[in-house]
Chain A
Amino acid sequence: MHFSDLSNETYAALVGNKVRSSLTILGIVIGIGSVIAMISIGQGAQESVEDSIESIGSNLLMVYPGASRTTGMRGVSQGAGSAETLTTEDADAVSSSIQGISGVAPEVSTRVQIVANGNNTNTSVVGVTDTYADVRNITLDTGSFITASQTKGYAKVAVLGPTTRDDLFGENTDAIGQKIRMNGVIFTVIGILTEEGGTGFGSADDRILIPLSTEQQYITGSKAINTLYIKVAEDADMDTVQSNVTDVLMKTHNIADGGTADFTVYNQADIVETASSVTGTFTLLLGAVAGISLLVGGIGIMNMMLTTVTERTREIGLRKALGAKNKEITFQFLAEAVALTTIGGVIGIIFGWGTSTIIGAVSDLSTSVTLSPILLAFGVSATIGIIFGWYPARKASRLSPIEALRYE
């Protein structure tokens, strides 16, 4: 049997039963198409999460008070960030003794009731220094940021997030120079942050920045800070700086080598990795759901091929009587199954690609079609075609020619 004969016979068999062939192909199209579309949505989500984390600054180290929860098996662990082991002195020690740092920004944050202009709101009040804007990539919409001398002088000035400004003074009003009252202390508004987007609890737009010293003096009443942000000058130095920061803080906290640190240093890469693994799981889940429909499509192929074998029993008997060998009958039926998955696969890829492009264009979801899910989906469907086509093909080839010819 020549290859051209095999393809002619396959073509004739598939065209001979157009409706059934196209329904089977449709099953595969939906399977492969949904795998590609779903994975593209998952990967799009992953990329946008990574992008937004990168936008914070890829060369950022964060130091939180309290030990990392992953290091020990001690009875009750305090969550990182809730202990009061980091202070302003630690920030000074880091910035004065470590090379390769372009900025250090300590932060202390607490929720406070704010009164202004007869309005009342409850939001995060964050104590920061002049370096904060640079280290955290913060820009101002209007007004000016907190200066070093204001930090030194316990100045009662405040920079409002746009949402907070809206809550206290009404939408888009000019709040510069207005007074607000927190814990009985009057602050003057000197700037408004640029809107960053994001909603809900802990939004970057709903907060008030005041000088660190002022917050410690009038609001928290302690020298403790919540977070120490360290901006590293060169990406390549991240690891070195991270270990230097650990060393310096160990020394200032009088912890011997090998002791348990009472602080935790994270870098941006760790956070990106964590977020990626979350969205990776999400992608996997979407892919698994789509994979099920691919499997169902494969079973559709097997179903069609088994029906075909039964229906064409006499034809199989005839072909055998005319000299077809078992192997040739197997190849013929296998070729039909493979042709169905290949056609379905190609259309499915186009369909999946199109769907994800449309989803990306009309909705907020970003989608990203990459080569690997295409190869994966196509490989799976080809495998399904061969495996699910193999069984009916074997069954067909093993029919005895006489019984097959007599079959009604």
Chain B
Amino acid sequence: MISCANLVKTYNIGKDNELTVLHDVSFSVDTGEFVAIIGTSGSGKSTLMHILGALDRPTSGSYVLNNHDMLALSDDELADIRGRNIGFVFQSFNLLSRATVLRNVMLPLIYDNVVPVQERHARAEQALHAAGLPEDRWDHLSNQLSGGQMQRVAIARALVNNPSIIFADEPTGNLDSKTGEIVLDTFQKLNEEHGHTIILITHERYVAEHASRIIEIKDGHIVSDSQNATPRRVHMTS
């Protein structure tokens, strides 16, 4: 599904402060994997996620997502890929605060031009069920929710267009550990029960251990890439 080779990203090319944050990064991800990319701040993991998520372009190298040569696509084509094949979950949720939960979840569908208008509502409900947000919250404004609920709305929004891959950038970073567990459990369920491919970016080993494969990145290089045979499980008490 994802295959990238020799990815290099250099900022401020030709200037005094030229900075290469990714050096020769190569790896591939198959459909149905739950991969954690772990690294300290400044390691290049966010830059890598931006490139994989079609938000940015590498300076050199190759990147193929679902048989699309991502380097050859125009900005509008990349926007289409983001809208149809990729779901994002951000650390700070990035919900429209004055909009209801349902409107937030349906937001990607207005740019997608594929899902018919009359199906949007059903798709949003389905995604909210999958993300595990109780139905009595669906008509609330998103700023009336708790952090954990907001992140579930964000997950539902990432799911609503049936993406082939979901990128989660520090999804537990703004949550307390218990709520974080619930969110990580949601990702595991989406991966194991619904077969979604998930790439989770984090700086915490503990969080990364919920994934079935861990790629460690340091100073722009992949330093380890290993399967995690026994992902950490969440023991839900409630």
Q: Is the CB of B90 within 8 A of A405?
A: yes
Q: B29 interface residue, CB < 8 Å from A? A: no
- Provide the main secondary structure of the chain A interface: helix
Q: Which residue of A lies closest to B83 (CB)?
A: A323
Q: Is the CB of A324 within 8 A of B117?
A: no
List chain B residues, Cβ under 8 A from A319: 107, 111
A405, B76: Cα distance in complex, Å: 18
Contact A405 B79 (CB under 8 A): no
Contact B107 A321 (CB under 8 A): no
| Of A12, A322, A328, the contact of B82 (CB 8 Å cutoff) | A322
Q: List 15 A-B contacts (CB under 8 A).
A: A1-B110, A5-B110, A12-B99, A315-B96, A318-B94, A320-B79, A321-B55, A321-B82, A322-B108, A323-B83, A323-B161, A325-B79, A326-B75, A326-B79, A405-B55
Interface residues of A in 394-408 (CB under 8 A from B): 400-402, 405
Q: How many angstroms from the CA of A401 to the CA of B75 in the assembled complex? A: 11
- Give every chain A residue within 8 A of B83 (Cβ-Cβ): 322-324
**A325 in contact with B107 (CB, 8 Å):** no
* CB of A4 closer than 8 Å to a CB of B: yes
Q: Which residues of B contact A317 (CB under 8 A)?
A: 94
- Residue B210 is within 8 A (CB to CB) of chain A in the complex: no
10 additional contacts (CB under 8 A) given A16-B98, A318-B90, A322-B83: A1-B113, A2-B117, A315-B94, A322-B111, A322-B157, A323-B112, A325-B111, A327-B76, A328-B111, A402-B55
Contact A1 B111 (CB under 8 A): yes
CB A318 to nearest CB in B, in angstroms, measures 5
Nearest chain-A residue to B46 (Cβ)? A402
Which residues of chain B have C-beta atoms less than 8 A from A318's C-beta?
A: 90, 94, 96
User: Is A9 part of the contact surface with B, judged by Cβ < 8 Å?
Assistant: yes
- Shortest Cβ distance from residue B158 to the other chain A in the assembled complex, whole angstroms: 9
Q: Does B80 contact A (CB under 8 A)?
A: yes
What number of residue pairs across chains A and B have CB atoms under 8 A from each other? 65
Specify which chain A residues have a CB less than 8 angstroms from the CB of B82 in the assembled complex: 320-323
Top 8 nearest A-B pairs by Cβ distance? A323-B83, A5-B110, A323-B111, A322-B108, A325-B79, A318-B94, A324-B111, A16-B98
B171 at the interface (CB under 8 A from A): no
**Residues of A contacting B98 with CB < 8 Å?**
12, 16
Chain B hits for A321, CB < 8 A: 53, 55, 82, 88
Taking a contact as CB atoms under 8 Å apart, the answer to whether B110 and A2 are in contact is yes
Closest to B107 in A: A322
User: Shortest CB–CB separation between residue B7 and chain A, in angstroms?
Assistant: 16
Measured between C-beta atoms, what is the minimum distance from A5 to chain B in Å?
Answer: 4
* Contacting residue for A402 out of B56, B108, B161, CB 8 A: B56
The reply on B50 being an interface residue by CB < 8 A is yes
Task: Tell me if A314 is interfacial: C-beta within 8 Å of chain B.
Answer: yes
> What residues of chain B lie closer than 8 Å to A315, measured between beta carbons?
94, 96
Given the known A-B contacts A314-B94, A402-B56, are A323 and B117 also in contact in the complex, defined by CB atoms under 8 Å?
no
In the bound complex, how far is the Cα of B169 from the Cα of A77, in angstroms? 90
Chain A residues lying within 8 Å of B123, measured Cβ to Cβ, are: none
Chain A residue numbers with a CB within 8 Å of B55 are 320-321, 401-402, 405
Bound complex: CA A173 to CA B117 (Å): 87
Q: Does B84 reach chain A (CB closer than 8 Å)?
A: yes
| CA gap between A325 and B55 in the complex, in Å | 12
Chain B residues with CB below 8 A from A9, complex form: 110
Q: Which chain B residues border A16 with CB–CB below 8 Å?
A: 98
Which positions 351-408 of chain A face chain B at CB distance < 8 Å?
400-402, 405
Across the two chains, which residue of chain B brings its CB closest to A314?
Answer: B94
Q: Tell me the B92-122 residues at the A interface (CB within 8 Å).
A: 94, 96, 98-99, 103, 107-108, 110-113, 117
Compute how far the CA of A323 lies from the CA of B96 in the bound complex, rounded to whole angstroms: 16
Q: How far is the CA of A68 from the CA of B92 in the complex (A)?
A: 83
